[in-house]
Amino acid sequence: MNADSPSAAPGTNRDIQEFVRALPKAELHVHLEGSVRPRTLLELAGRHRVDLGVRDEAGLRARYQFTDFPAFVRTYVTVCDCLRSGEDFALITQELGHDAARQNIHYLEATFTAVRHVQATGLPFDEVMDGIAAGAAAAQREYGVTMRFIPDYPRDFGVEGLMQTVDWAIAGMDRGVVALGLSGMENEVPSLPFAPAVARAKAAGLYFAPHAGEIAGPQVVRDCLAMGADRIGHGIHAADDPALLEELRTLQIPLEVCPTSNLCTGAATSLADHPLRRLWEAGDFVTLNSDDPPMFNTDLVQEYALAATAFGFSAAELARLSLNGARAAFLPATDKAALVARFEAELGTLGAPLS
């Protein structure tokens, strides 16, 4: 390791921040709606006459103190209500790309809940998707960030409606859609009844990236694996089942772990109890993500810093986490190989050890 590189002595907080900021990154679990900048959200709320119950960014920060997962969902829905046009989606997508570039995020997959927008505002899916695609093109052009997208469907919206989201996802494949997501109240609504719609999406060439094992136990993860999950959103409660941990390790199914989010929503009770380290030491395919960064007062740089300071990840482990993000991307083989090679080259320039 070069003694002058930021990875040479990641012992102090400043060293850690410099090192993790310089790491090449991919973010695979981030919600488009949950990433809206507070100032932008206030402007959109004013434009569309949506009452946020607050008037300034300080008020928003206070509102973003969640007591449990349902409280988070209620606030998330209010944010969704502020998005009323294709131009709104173009704006927040481009801003997400700008925020990614500042963190040295080269590749990003953003989840968005199309059904909420179509049902709540009557905005056609194509207008939503065209806006998102326009924002992604601008982010690629202006900041060099590659973005892909995952329409998700909340389980609590009912089994019948998922086919519509599948249709939208398939229609959006020419504009950057790469996967189907499944979200919502996994602890209340079983996942297996959604299997036929998921099978249709996968037959069309889409990946499947459900939320599972976030606020419910290991069985939901098992159910999603049975449905053909290619990655698992969160997946932290897989750590409660050693046999499932071994199955995930054997299959090398990536886990999209979001530590700060888990603390804020109550999915984990404390950093001491969060299973990030156990998942890693079990040999599972762990990636690190921010979920809804402004809502949880975090970003991907902070998540990497937290891995170092709270979970004891070494410089070599942080570099491997970084590389895992590229390796888990939903990209064609040649594009993924190019992304991995770019990460390896940048990590080599940093002097980051990979073993």
Residue entry with tokens 């946020």? 52
Enumerate the β-bridge partners of residue 234. 212
238, 222 in Cβ contact below 8 A? no
> How far is residue 271's CA from residue 260's CA, in Å, rounded to a whole number?
9
Q: Who contacts 234 (Cβ-Cβ below 8 Å, separation ≥6)? A: 29, 211, 212, 213, 214, 255, 256, 257, 258, 261, 262, 267
287, 321 in Cβ contact below 8 A? yes
Handedness of CA 120, 177, 69, 212 (dihedral sign): positive
How far is CA 354 from each of CA 14, 249, 261, 329, rounded to the nearest angstrom?
22, 19, 27, 19
Query: Which ranges constitute the DSSP H helices of the chain?
Result: 13-22, 38-48, 57-63, 69-81, 86-102, 114-121, 125-143, 162-171, 195-203, 218-226, 242-251, 259-265, 276-281, 300-309, 315-327, 333-350
262, 214 in Cβ contact below 8 A? yes
Q: What is the DSSP letter of 273?
A: T
Residue of 33, 109, 214, 256 marked catalytic? 214
- Give the pair of three-digit tokens for residue 250: 């054997």
Q: Confirm whether 214 is a catalytic residue.
A: yes
Cα angle 31, 296, 293; round to 5: 40
> How far is residue 316's CA from residue 158's CA, in Å, rounded to a whole number?
44
Taking Cα atoms as reference points, which of 148, 209, 223, 222 lies closest to residue 180?
209
Q: Catalytic amino acids? A: 214
